[in-house]
């Protein structure tokens, strides 16, 4: 289910900051060589991530779900000179491509890329984080959120991707019974009722939940 018409999306892209040469390379290579290229953030979402990062000028970013590295590089655009981005992904097969791409970026020395299960890695991370981006397996979104909320500074942001799940969150039953849709419905409601944050569900691309810690 496309939430925007291709014409509107193309118009928005044409009137937004373009991708860098490296981001275009990642975009192209992902669509040519990697399974499920729709998982890539892409230009519009990438520019949103970069804009929020530039606005808050983070010292510490956590990304849960690296994929091919596109969103990580967008988030790095707002990092302070002494800042770091820690990004986690369980896909060992993508490691060579991601590591090579990061080395080609101006942020290579600021990126800490770890391959493993985020649920095992996050508890040992010290924090505090200024910005967290969740874009991994949907069934664990609430678990990731609970693990990282205490590690986010007051005023910091948690952003979660794919929370509209191609529109399935508003489709009639029985379409809501797949495990990912059920998990995202529960996650969205959980954040909406969480008095520890102020939140906005932004209907861009596949939906981004943005929660600011109070």
From the DSSP assignment, how many helices (H) and strands (E) are in the chain? 8, 7
Give the C-alpha separation, 201 to 190, whole Å.
13
Domain 6-213: CATH superfamily is Vaccinia Virus protein VP39 (3.40.50.150)
Give the C-alpha separation, 208 to 200, whole Å.
8
3-state SS, residue 210 = strand
pLDDT score of 44: 92
The number of C-alpha atoms within 13 Å of 86 and in the hemisphere containing its C-beta is 18
- Distances 109 to 76, 114, 149 between C-alpha atoms, Å: 11, 14, 26
Backbone torsions φ then ψ of 183, nearest 5 degrees: -65, -40
pLDDT score of 184: 96
Closest CA to 59 of 153, 161, 145, 144: 153
Give the C-alpha separation, 161 to 133, whole Å.
8
Give the C-alpha separation, 36 to 54, whole Å.
29
pLDDT score of 129: 98
pTM for this one? 0.95
pLDDT score of 1: 59
pLDDT score of 40: 87
pLDDT tens, residue by residue, 123-137: 999 999 999 999 999
pLDDT score of 37: 82
Q: Where does the chain have alpha helices with state H? A: 6-14, 21-33, 42-56, 70-76, 95-104, 118-121, 141-149, 179-192
pLDDT score of 175: 63
Q: Is the peptide bond before 174 cis (omega within 30 degrees of 0)?
A: yes
Q: Which residue positions in the chain have pLDDT lower than 50? A: none
**For residues 3, 5, 7 and 10, what is the CA-based torsion angle, rounded to 10 degrees?**
20
């Amino acid at each position: 289910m496309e939430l925007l018409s291709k014409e509107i999306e193309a118009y928005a892209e044409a009137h937004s900051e373009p991708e860098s040469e490296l981001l275009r390379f990642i975009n192209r290579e992902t669509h040519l060589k990697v399974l499920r290229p729709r998982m890539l953030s892409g230009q519009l979402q990438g520019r949103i991530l970069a804009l929020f990062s530039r606005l808050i000028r983070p010292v510490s970013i956590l990304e849960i779900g690296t994929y091919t590295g596109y969103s990580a590089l967008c988030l790095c655009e707002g990092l302070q000179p002494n800042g770091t981005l820690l990004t986690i992904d369980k896909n060992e097969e993508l490691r060579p491509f991601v590591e090579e791409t990061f080395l080609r970026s101006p942020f290579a020395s600021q990126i800490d890329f770890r391959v493993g299960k985020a649920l095992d890695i996050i508890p040992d991370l010290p924090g505090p984080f200024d910005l967290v981006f969740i874009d991994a397996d949907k069934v664990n979104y609430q678990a990731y959120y609970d693990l990282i909320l205490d590690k986010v500074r007051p005023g910091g942001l948690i952003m979660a991707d794919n929370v509209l799940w191609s529109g399935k969150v508003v489709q009639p039953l029985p379409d809501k019974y797949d495990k990912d849709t059920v998990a995202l419905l529960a996650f969205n409601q959980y954040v909406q009722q969480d008095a520890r944050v102020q939140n906005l569900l932004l209907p861009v691309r596949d939906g981004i939940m943005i929660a600011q810690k109070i």
